[in-house]
A = this chain, B = another copy of it.
Amino acid sequence: MRYSQLFTKTKPREPKDELTSNAKLLTRAGFVNKLMAGVYSYLPLGLRVINKIETIVREEMNAIGGQEVFLPALHPSENWKQTKGWDNIDILFKLKSRTNREYALGQSHEEVITPLFKEYATSYKDLPVAIYQIQQKFRDELRAKSGLLRGREFRMKDMYSWHLDQADFNRFYQVAKLAYLKIYQRAGLQAKVTEASGGSFSEKISYEFMVLTPAGEDDILYCDQCDYCINTEIAKDLKEESECPRCQKAKLQKARASEVGNVFDLGQKYTHDFDLKLADKNGLLVYPIMGCYGIGISRLMGVIAEALHDDKGLVWPETIAPFQVHLVGLNLDNSDVKKQAEAIYQKLTQEHIEVLFDDRLEATPGAKFADADLIGLPYRLLVSAKTGDKVEYKKRQLKDVKITSLENFLKECCQ
């Protein structure tokens, strides 16, 4: 992609109405644009990041047997009345048609997917099953001041599973947990699994996946000698400096963290509500145990921006970056340099390397370098009157530059 043709531009200043680093940086760098509080447009650079995250999530959900569907956002009120969510869930957006038909906007999809699965399930042989989608969610949040971390409209992967008994849910939870941890790792993050409260619809424990970041909205207590981690909301007698209740080898530390995923053990709540019962091996009808597994896709983009940036801008991991190489052309009014820069752009494109080519004539070298740092692609590749038949490259998170041949750059960096 040529930067000169990209319709977005970086902005010289931070937006005045944003409080968090993710919103400030992603807006300045041209990844997102705020339509209103908690509602963002995804611009070409931002959409590429979203797509990269989705591909990772999709691969890991497919790998554990998840079947992808796409459910509506517009729901009949009846489904939400059946679970009492219509009256009890304060973030549920409600609307009416011209003919006074009542609808809800999906803030989660248990109310749609449970009767859907019921229509096809015939016996225990159809269990276990895991069905997921990646789709927009709508929540009437009172406060939405954290950029992509808390949206009124946001992108989410939500998976639902059904199991014949609790033991099978517990087994699958372990499978899903490993898939989730792999997703965060592939996205360049280290996540911890915490126990948290189950929310309004369940007395059961839920699990949250947390990334340590000062912009987080939760406090956690964690042990650095084992994987114990708990949300302070349900920590009861535990506090900072308490002995780790799991390994007893270290004192708990407290940190601000941001949720990047969750799992709810929904028990039989929804299978009861929608009368989804299946015959077990003995012909007895049972209400399956249901699980729900969420990852906020757009929120994850925000958390990556929070966790991975410096004072100059974003620092994308290679797996998530919208492009791998930021090709900066200087002195492009020199026809030899221009020819070489164009040839390198063509070569990289032919090699299927994703390149953002700053081919602007009017921008200063300083402006081009600042934009490269702000946008935060993994490799900055420089071609100028000084580089001759070599190229200069720099990794975004390092200070030193290297001068080498294009072939060497390709070998060293883009394998």
Which residues of A are at the interface with B, using a C-beta cutoff of 8 A?
5-9, 30, 33, 35-36, 39-44, 47, 50, 65, 67-76, 90, 93-95, 97-99, 105, 112, 116-117, 119-121, 126, 129, 131, 136, 138, 140, 142, 152-153
What are 20 A-to-B residue pairs whose CB atoms are below 8 Å?
A5-B65, A5-B67, A7-B67, A30-B120, A33-B116, A35-B72, A41-B72, A42-B69, A42-B71, A44-B68, A44-B69, A73-B136, A73-B153, A74-B138, A90-B98, A93-B95, A93-B97, A95-B95, A97-B152, A99-B142
CB distance from A156 to the nearest CB of B (A): 14
* Residue in contact with A35 in the complex, picked from B9, B97, B112, B129, CB distance below 8 Å: B112
Q: How many copies does the complex hold?
A: 2
Whether the Cβ atoms of A72 and B126 lie closer than 8 Å is no
* Residue in contact with A41 in the complex, picked from B95, B112, B138, CB distance below 8 Å: B112
CB distance from A86 to the nearest CB of B (A): 14
Besides A35-B72, A93-B97, 15 new A-B residue pairs in contact (Cβ under 8 A), listed by A number: A5-B67, A8-B120, A30-B120, A41-B71, A42-B70, A42-B71, A44-B69, A73-B73, A73-B153, A74-B152, A90-B98, A94-B95, A97-B140, A97-B152, A98-B142
Residues from chain B with Cβ under 8 Å of A72 in the complex: 35, 39-41, 153
CB distance from A116 to the nearest CB of B (A): 6
Whether the Cβ atoms of B95 and A70 lie closer than 8 Å is no
Residue of B nearest to A129 (CB): B7
Residue of B nearest to A1 (CB): B67
Closest 3 CB pairs of A and B: A95-B95, A42-B70, A74-B153
**Which has the most chain B C-beta neighbours within 10 Å: A47, A70, A73?**
A70
* Bound: A41/B115 CA distance, A: 12
Whether the Cβ atoms of A7 and B120 lie closer than 8 Å is yes
Whether the Cβ atoms of A98 and B153 lie closer than 8 Å is no
* Bound: A5/B44 CA distance, A: 37
Whether the Cβ atoms of B131 and A36 lie closer than 8 Å is no
* Bound: A75/B36 CA distance, A: 8
